[in-house]
Amino acid sequence: MTPRRTAAVALTAALLTAPLLTVPAHAAETPPRTGFERTDGARWTTQPEEQDFLAAVDGASDRVSITRIGTTKQDRPLQLVRIGGAGGAAGSAGSADDADSGHAANTVLLVCSQHGDEPSGREACLTTVRDLAYAQDAATRRFLDRTTVLVVPTANPDGRAADTRGNSDGFDINRDHLALQTAEARAMAAVVRDREPDVAYDLHEYGATPPYYDKDLFDLWPRNLNTDAAVHDEAQTLSQAYVRPAAQAEGYSTGTYGIWTDPVTGDPIQQVAGDGQERILRNMTGVKHGVGLLIESRVDPLTDAEKADDALNNRRRVHSQLAALDGLFTFTDERRARIGTATSAARLAGYRDSGPVYVGGADNDPAEPSEILQDPPCAYRLTAGQYADLKDELALHGVRARQDAEGVQVPLRQPLRALVPLLLDEHAPYHLTVGEPDTDC
């Protein structure tokens, strides 16, 4: 059994009908339930209910802590929940032979409902927080001894309150992980910088286009070509060997996000989403050397019964997300040393300051020659004015800069080597400013 499955209250159509956890003696007599659970899926959990729910979980479990990491324009809190006792911000490296032996510690980040009108992932995240907090079985306790689980339960609180894709300014947060113009994306960047998650799992929903695009769940790894090869391979393994099989075992169909396929042959027909844009969290995770995965549950009802009963459809959406989360936690537990080795090595590789940097293309769309910086400069120079405008964004990303008599130099020889040109090179499609190439390093 996986830690999530072992710890979980079985969230079937009846919700909480088969409790599998043992509540610690100091905890509340009855574990708290979300608004979604208490209404059997008839409505989504409100923000006040979320705050009460998290406060109850925090008060009942000494393995949980909650931090306010930001505030939205409409004064709603952006919160980070930490569960588990693993030490260190980043996963430690180990040999492949240690993969099942517990010698490596990892950090996993769940980002829930970046798009405010995609609530099922948020509900799955909230109940996962509770189930991990209350679990007393040996397998889950051992998992949390070696794993820090970080959860942003509602990454877009203003959008969730309004049931809109964007935030209160109408800005799509999941297109802001490079420029960092929104409070929501800035908070996320600071978490990634400070906690260096080995795995970042981004929960979304999508609208189906039958018969070409109508699975229960789609997922996608970082396609950005600046993702380290070993990190990219781990992300594909997470998708294809863990998340999809876990969902399929619960009866859910799965596929690759953004690709329409022929319903008879399964051949790809058209790519409609899922490219390598660095401003998307899935891809920025790869650029920053984390194992990233986007997960998308189907919003549209599948059956006549679901068409007639919104609650039934809502439960299916949430349960499919929970099934996929089982695969994520199994992956983390079984491959923790491999994950740690891949992410640690990728973070160190930037100090070599060698190899191309890609400003376009994707793992399924080879970069054009004009999209490859085969011999990038060793640094970029910014004027005092450019640096004044961008210093906060550079700091939030964790990009290092040096001030000297001539201005500011941003070297490529640093862990986020590939990110520097994406921010500062004129050839990068989403650059924030154009730095002067510097070869005097």
Distance separating alpha carbons of residues 46 and 52, to the nearest angstrom = 10
pLDDT of residue 441: 87
C-alpha 350: how far from chain center: 23
Going by pLDDT thresholds of 50, 70 and 90, the confidence category of residue 440 is confident
Pairing type for strands 199-206 and 291-298 reads: parallel
Residue 359: phi and psi, rounded to 5, are -110, 10
pLDDT of residue 11: 30
pLDDT of residue 253: 97
Residue showing tokens 């970042």? 200
Return all residues near 355 (Cβ < 8 A) that are at least 6 apart: none
Distance separating alpha carbons of residues 69 and 272, to the nearest angstrom = 34
Distances from the Cα of 250 to the Cα of 213, 244, 319, angstroms: 20, 10, 9
Distances from the Cα of 380 to the Cα of 32, 383, 398, angstroms: 52, 10, 16
Q: For the segment 160-218, what is each residue's pLDDT rounded down to a tens digit?
A: 999 999 999 999 999 999 999 999 999 999 999 999 999 999 999 999 999 999 999 99
Local structure of 255: helix, strand or coil: strand
Strand boundaries in 162-274, DSSP class E: 199-206, 217-220, 254-256, 259-261, 268-271
Distance separating alpha carbons of residues 241 and 262, to the nearest angstrom = 23
Q: Which value, in Å, is the radius of gyration of the alpha carbons in the chain?
A: 22
Local structure of 50: helix, strand or coil: helix
Model-level pTM? 0.92
The mean pLDDT of 77-99, rounded to a whole number, is: 60
| N residues, the chain | 441
